[in-house]
Chains A and B, each alone.
Chain A
Amino acid sequence: MSYLVLARKYRPQTFDEVVKQDHITRTLKNAISAGRVAHAILFSGPRGTGKTTVGRILAKAMNCKDGPAPVPCNQCSSCNEITAGNAADVFEIDGASNNSVDQIRELRGNVKYMPAHSLYKIYIIDEVHMLSIAAFNALLKTLEEPPSHVMFIFATTEPRKIPITILSRCQRHDFRRIDVESISEHMEKICKKEGVEIDPKSLGLIAREANGSMRDGLSLLDQVISCTQGTISHDHVLDILGVVDREIIFKISGAVFREDIAEILDILDAVYSAGHDMKKLYADLIEHFRNLLIVKMGEKNRKLVDIPAHEIDLILDQVKKVPTIFLNQIFDLLFKEEITLAHSSHPRLAIETVFIRIFQTKPALPIDVLIAKLDNLSKDIYETKTDFAVPENRSTPQDERKDSQSTLNKVTGTAESLETFASAPETPVDQDEDIKGTWKRLLSIISEKHPSLAANLKNSMIKKLADNRIEIEVNGSHFNINMILRNKNEAIIKKVCSDFFGKKMDVVIVPKKIKDPKHQEKKSQAGRLKQEALSHPLVTDALEIFNGNVVDVKIL
C-alpha cells in the first residue's frame, strides 16, 4: 500500500467523528433511529467539510448488518466493503465524468433490480452539479418515487447549479465552514496519533490557512510533516506553506501610513522573488486593512477580528494616528483594484501600481467636519451680503479654517471662489468677471418680467460699461436682433438698467456682425456651382431621357 495522505487516512468512519457538522449528523442519526430517512438527500457546502464522508457513513449506517443503525459497526462485510469502495450495492458515481443523459438512463434501468445482499441500493452521486440538464430531467421521475430499496445521496459544492425541480425532491443539508479552533483541535489529535510534535502556534497558522476546510488543513499538515525531518519549527512551517509572514504585512501597512513608497517597493520585490503568490499577498493585505479598520472602529467590534491579542496591540499602535476615513479610503481602493489584479498576468506590477495610487490619494476629512465647514462658509456669505463691513464676525476659529482650506479646495472647486467672494467682497474684482456678473444679474431681472425678451438676449453680452453708458452687443439671428431693437423692448432694457445701476443709463444696442466676407463668398460660389450643374448638358439630357425633374442640388 502506498502512502496515504492524512485526509484519507483519517477520514471519519462514524457520525461522531465528523468535526463541527453536528446539525447534520444529529439529524441523520435521529432519522435513522426513528426510521424516517428520506430517499433522496442532498449535501451541499464548501470543499473539504465532509460531504462525501457523511454520504459514505450514511450508506454504511443504512446497510449495516444489524439493519439501519445510527452507529455503523465498521466490522461487518457491508461496512468494510463500503470503506474499501467496492460494495456491490453502494454505487459511488462521479457526477462530473458520468454526466450525460445516457448514463442516467442506464442508472434508471438498474434501479428496479433488488440489492445484491444489503437492505438498500444506495447511489452516491458526487459533484452532482456537473450533470447535464437533460440528465437531471431524466432523473426526476425516479427521484420522486424510487423503489423502496433505493436511496440517492447527492454531494455538491455548488447547489445553485442544480435545477429547482431536483432540489425540491431532496432533503437538503448544508455543511458549514469549520472554524479555526476546531480544525486545529482536530489536527492536534491527529498529530498525537501520528506521534508528531508540533507547536500550537504553527497549528493555528495551518488552520487559518485552511480557510474553513478540513481537507485543506490536513493536506497542509501532511506537507509540513512529510517535508521536515526532526522537530518542526515555526519558520519552517511558514516556509513550506508559503505564507507571507504577518510581520511583512505589518511592515507594508506601516510604510503606507508613513508614506514610504521606497520601502514598499523593496518589500514587494523581496516577496516576489521568494516566489510567493502575489494574489494571495493581496488577499492577505485586504484582510489586514479590514482588521485595521475594525480595530480602529472601537473596542466592542474587536471580537470580529480573528487574530491573536499581541497583534491587536500592534494594530492599535499602528492606527493610533491614522484617521478612520483614510483607512476607509485605502480599503476602498484595495477592494476596487482587486478585479484588476485578478485578471493581471503580472500581479507584481499591478500591486505596485495600486500602492502608488494609494500614495496619490491624500487623507480626506470626515464628512461631518466638511459639512460643518460648508455651513460656516454659507453663513459667512449670508452675513457678508447683509453687512459688508463685518467679515471678522465668524463663528469658527481662524486656525481651523486655515488647515481645512487645502482640503476644501480639492473637494469642491467652487469653495475657493466662494471664499474669496465672502472674505473680500469690496475689493475690485477683475473687470471682465465683473461685467459678466453684472450681465448675468441683469438678465435674471429681465427674465423675471419679460421671459421672451430674455430668451432673445441670451447670447448677448455687455461690450462696454462706462459711468452712465452701457453698450450691449447682440449676438444671434436676424429675428433676435429685430425683436430686441423694437421700441418697446428697448425701453424695457433701458428701464431695467437704470433701476439696476440706480442712475440714468444710456443703452446702446449693437448687433454683432456675423456676415463675414468669406461666408458670403462661399454662398455666391455655391449658387454658381448649382447653376452650373443644372445647366450641364449631361443633366439636361438625363432629365429629357427619363422625363424627370430636379428635386435638389447638393454640394459635396
Chain B
Amino acid sequence: MSGNESIIGFESIVGQEQPIRLLTTLLQNKTIPHALLFLGADGVGKKMTAMAFAMACNCMVRRKGDLSSDTKIRDDYRSIPDQTIQRGPGDCCPSCRKIKSGSHPDVILVEPSGPFIRIDQIRNLCSTLALKPYGARLRVVIISDAQAMNPSAGNALLKMLEEPPDKTVLILTAMQTSDLLPTIVSRCQHIRFNPIPRKHLEALLVEKRGTHPDDAKIIAAMANGSVSKAFSMTRKKNPIDWINRRIWLIDEVQSLSKKPMAARLAFAARLVKDKEALGDSLEVLKSWFRDLVVWKYHSGRILNTDLESKIQRASPNMTVASILSKINNIHAAQKNIEANTNLRLTLEVLIMRLAKV
C-alpha cells in the first residue's frame, strides 16, 4: 500500500467500520492507550488507518485558543472527522499535510529494512523517543509489520512499549498475535481488522482502477480480502496477467497426469521463472484443490465461483483423499521454499507429485 495511491482519512478506509468505530471512541473518550496493536491480514488498511489516526490526533483544525496548552487539545476531537470531510482529507491543516507527505517529525514510521526490523532501528527509535516531541500533541510511532522484528529487536522494544514517555503512542501492525513475542502482545491493546468483504473489494476495483466488473469479481476472490493484493494484481505495470495466469495454471495442473515427463518438468521450470508470482501461484492451486474438495460437500462455498462448471467436471473424478494429499504436497513445498531449498528441485518434485492421479 503506497502512500501516494491512497487518500488518507478514516472515511477512505473501506470495510473496516468496527476498528474505526473503536478508534473514534478512544479519541472521543480521550482514553488513548500508549500501545495499540492492529491485527489483520495483509493489505486490509492497517497502516492507512494508523496514519489516519495520527492525523486525527494531531489535526489543528478548529483548535481555538492557545496552541501550546495541552488541556485544550483533547476537547475538540469530536469535531475533527466532519471537518476533514469538508476540506478534503489530509488537506485540512499543515499538520495533516505533513503527516500525509511523511515529513512530520513526530510521526515516526518504522518499517522492515529487508526481511527484518533490526535492533538498530529499535534502538534509534528508543533514543528518539527519549526526547520531547517537536510540536505534536501526540507523538505517534507506527511500527508496521511488527512480526518482522527479530527477537532481539522485539525485546529491545519491550521496556519502551510498557512505559513510553508522555504524549507518545506506539502503534504496531501485525498479521496475528501468534507471530509476535507474547511479551509484546501482552503490552498492547488489540484492534482487529477484518478481511475486506468481497463485494467492497469488487466495488473498489471497479471504481478506483476501472477494472471490468467481471474481472473485478475474479480478482476480488483471489485477493483474499486484501486491498493491496487486489490492486497489485490489477496494476498495469504488473507483468503477470493474473486472470489468464490462473486459468493457465489450473488447466496445466488438471492435465498434468496425461502429459509426458518432459512437459511436467517444463511446467515446473516455468513456475520457477516467475519467482515473485510463485507464492501466489501456489495459493491459486491450493484454493483450486480446496474447491474441488468443498464442491463434494457444499457447492455453495467454493471460492472460484466463476469456474464452477470446471469444478463440477473435475471434482467427481478425484477422491477426497487424493485431493487432500495434493493440498498437503503444496503445503510441504511452500514450507520448503520458505526454508530456502532449491526452488527448481522443490517445484519439480511438487509437480510430479501433483501429476499422480
Contact = CB atoms under 8 A, between A and B. Distances in A.
B189 A222 contact: yes
B283 A346 contact: yes
Given A3-B31, A277-B177, A353-B327, A360 B155 contact: no
A226 B26 contact: yes
Interface in B24-43: 25-26, 29-34, 39-40
A492 B193 CA distance: 85
A226 B29 contact: yes
A125 to B, nearest CB: 11
A274 interface: yes
A550 interface: no
B83 interface: no
Given A97-B126, A277-B176, A353-B324, A346 B224 contact: yes
Contact of A94 (B159, B178, B283, B321): B159
Given A346-B224, A356-B297, A360-B320, A277 B39 contact: yes
Contacts of A344: 331
Nearest to A272: B195
B64 interface: no
| Max count, chain A CB within 10 A of own CB: residue among B33, B119, B290, B301 | B33
Interface in A296-323: none
A418 interface: no
Contacts of B30: 3
Contact of B25 (A52, A129, A229, A272): A229
Given A277-B192, A356-B320, A265 B301 contact: yes
A52 to B, nearest CB: 8
Interface in B163-185: 163, 166-167, 176-178, 182-183, 185
A228 B25 contact: yes
Interface stretch (A212-220, A385-393, A515-523, A540-548): A212-220
A97 B294 contact: no
B122 interface: yes
A227 B224 contact: no
Contacts of A352: 290, 294
Contact of A96 (B18, B25, B159): B159
Contacts of B187: 215, 219
Interface string B333-347: 011001000000000
Contacts of A276: 192
B29 A360 contact: no
A513 B167 CA distance: 96
A213 to B, nearest CB: 6
A279 B158 contact: no
B159 A126 contact: yes
B197 A227 contact: no
Nearest to B127: A97
A501 to B, nearest CB: 47
Interface residues of B, number: 64
Given A240-B22, A353-B324, A2 B286 contact: no
A280 interface: yes
B262 to A, nearest CB: 24
Given A273-B194, A349-B286, A356 B298 contact: no
A130 B155 contact: yes
A96 B156 contact: yes
B195 A127 contact: no
A357 B297 CA distance: 13
A14 to B, nearest CB: 20
Interface SS of chain B: helix
Interface residues of A, number: 63
Contacts of A97: 119, 122-123, 126, 155-156, 159
A453 B126 CA distance: 86
Contacts of A2: 32, 34, 138, 166-167
Contact of B293 (A273, A350, A356): A356
Interface in B228-286: 283, 286
A275 B192 contact: yes
A415 B224 CA distance: 48
B186 A274 contact: no
A226 to B, nearest CB: 4
B183 A3 contact: no
A172 B133 CA distance: 40
A466 interface: no
Nearest to A274: B194
A215 B186 contact: yes
A266 B298 contact: yes
Nearest to A342: B178
Given A215-B187, A223-B189, A360 B321 contact: yes
Nearest to A354: B324
A269 interface: yes
Interface in A81-121: 85, 94-97, 99
Nearest to A3: B31
A193 interface: no
A120 B347 CA distance: 64
A241 B160 CA distance: 24
Nearest to A132: B152
A350 B338 CA distance: 17
B287 interface: yes
A273 B31 contact: no
Interface in A197-224: 213, 215-216, 219-220, 222-223
B61 interface: no
B98 interface: no
Contacts of A356: 293-294, 297, 320, 324
Nearest to B23: A227
Contacts of A242: 190, 192
A275 B194 contact: yes
Closest 6 CB pairs of A and B: A275-B194, A96-B155, A226-B31, A262-B298, A94-B159, A97-B156
Interface of B: 18, 22, 25-26, 29-34, 39-40, 119, 122-123, 126, 138, 152, 155-160, 162-163, 166-167, 176-178, 182-183, 185-190, 192-195, 197, 224-225, 283, 286-287, 290, 293-294, 297-298, 301, 320-321, 324, 327-328, 331, 334-335, 338
11 contacts: A47-B182, A47-B186, A213-B186, A216-B186, A219-B189, A227-B25, A228-B25, A261-B298, A265-B297, A346-B283, A353-B324
Given A47-B186, A279-B176, 16 more contacts: A52-B162, A94-B158, A97-B122, A127-B158, A130-B155, A157-B183, A219-B33, A219-B188, A228-B25, A240-B22, A265-B294, A265-B301, A274-B194, A349-B290, A352-B290, A352-B294
